Amino acid sequence: MSQPPVAPISGPTISAPPGIAAKRRVSRINRRNVVDWLGIAPFMLFALMFLIVPTVYLVAGAFLTPTGEFTLQNIADLFQPSILGAYWISIKVSVASSLGGALIGFFLAWAIVLGGVPPWIRSGLLTFSGVASNFAGVPLAFAFLATLGRTGLVTVFLREWFGFNLYATGFNLLSFLGLTITYMFFQIPLMVLILTPALDGLKKEWREAAQILGASNWQYWRKVALPILWPSLLGTTLLLFANAFGAIATAYALTGSSLNIVPIVLYAQIRGDVLHNPNLGYALALGMIVITGLSNVLYIWLRMRAERWQK
């Protein structure tokens, strides 16, 4: 006679007390937080050493005399006609190069995203933009002197082959127009790099819905696409303005002291042999920080609006 099966006897499950389990979870979370903070520690150290501490030093120096006493004279000296003129020239160069770079860069970005160009052109243009947007300083100044200088390649080619003297028209590379054109060399690629993702974010459903409702291509861009892209366009233009306003190496290598822009005046005040007033230079730097800071704050705000629209 068979015996009924006997169920296996299992012992009671032993679990850790609630207090110990909670401590283990907290310990795991703490270890994970430590690892995360270690990952960003090099960046924070770099930002502290080369951005935050120098900025605080400049701001403090703008309100001190060479002997270390508090003063507002350095801020008052910023309203001298020569310094105000330097600020005005820098603002004009920055506005002109940012608007030109934004306009040309927008059409280039539109061509590679929505213009139906072959994929190899898009990849090649984006690769070139990544390189050209960081090409500045002495190499860029030399490249333009070798191209558009009085004995530059393009200048000589136009004169020898077409009888057109570029400099007889009043053009001068070492001038406001020349510096603006030089700045646009790295402004246009930067606009392409930043605006391409925004154009990629335009959904096909928006165009299809506009076409179904009878909208023309111009009406779609005027009432749908451009209002969505406007924060990105304006924000990127402000970023280009700040990028040009703080540039010094290209301007100094190209024009020397012939074009009185703020970074060159600042350099002359801090390191020059004749104009040597470091604290006035700190005040000039403070003014540049305020202007570029406002531009970047507006850019971040507009970028957040653009991202919210495209979600």
Pick the CATH number of 81-310 from 1.20.1740.10, 3.20.19.10, 1.10.3720.10, 3.30.70.580: 1.10.3720.10
For 117, other C-beta atoms within 10 Å of its C-beta total: 13
Q: Is the pLDDT assigned to residue 126 strictly greater than 70?
A: yes
Can you tell me whether residue 302 is helix, strand or coil?
helix
> What is the phi/psi pair of residue 64, to 5°?
-125, 155
Query: Residue 278, class by beta-carbon neighbours within 10 Å (0-12 exposed, 13-18 middle, 19+ buried)?
Result: middle
pLDDT (tens digit per residue) in 46-87:
888 888 998 899 899 999 988 889 999 999 999 999 899 999
Q: Please report the pLDDT score of residue 186 as a whole number.
A: 94
Torsion-angle region of residue 117: left (phi > 0), alpha (psi -120 to 50) or beta?
beta
| Helices and strands in the chain, H and E counts | 14, 0
Q: Where are the domains of the chain?
A: 81-310
Q: How confident is the model at residue 260 (pLDDT cuts 50, 70, 90)?
A: confident
Q: Please report the pLDDT score of residue 205 as a whole number.
A: 87
Q: Average pLDDT for residues 240-251, to the nearest whole number? A: 89
Cα torsion 245, 246, 251, 253 to 10°: value is -170
Which of 287, 105, 261 has the alpha carbon at shortest distance from 178?
261
C-alpha distances out from residue 258 to 26, 51, 94, 172, Å: 64, 30, 17, 12
Q: Please report the pLDDT score of residue 303 as a whole number.
A: 78
Which of 154, 135, 158 has the alpha carbon at shortest distance from 145?
154
Q: Average pLDDT for residues 250-270, to the nearest whole number? A: 84
Q: Please report the pLDDT score of residue 27 as a whole number.
A: 60
Q: Please report the pLDDT score of residue 249 as a whole number.
A: 84
Q: Is the pLDDT assigned to residue 15 strictly greater than 60?
A: no
C-alpha distances out from residue 100 to 269, 278, 287, Å: 31, 34, 25
Q: Please report the pLDDT score of residue 137 as a whole number.
A: 85
Angle at which helix 81-114 crosses helix 262-271, to 10 degrees, equals: 130
Cα gap 223→148, rounded to integer Å: 41
Total length of the chain: 311
Mean pLDDT of all residues belonging to the chain: 84
Cα gap 65→76, rounded to integer Å: 13
Q: Is the pLDDT assigned to residue 227 strictly greater than 80?
A: yes
pLDDT (tens digit per residue) in 162-191:
989 999 888 888 889 999 999 999 999 999
Cα gap 84→89, rounded to integer Å: 9
Which residues sit opposite 70 in a β-bridge?
64
Cα gap 296→304, rounded to integer Å: 12
Can you tell me whether residue 52 is helix, strand or coil?
helix
Q: Please report the pLDDT score of residue 275 as a whole number.
A: 61
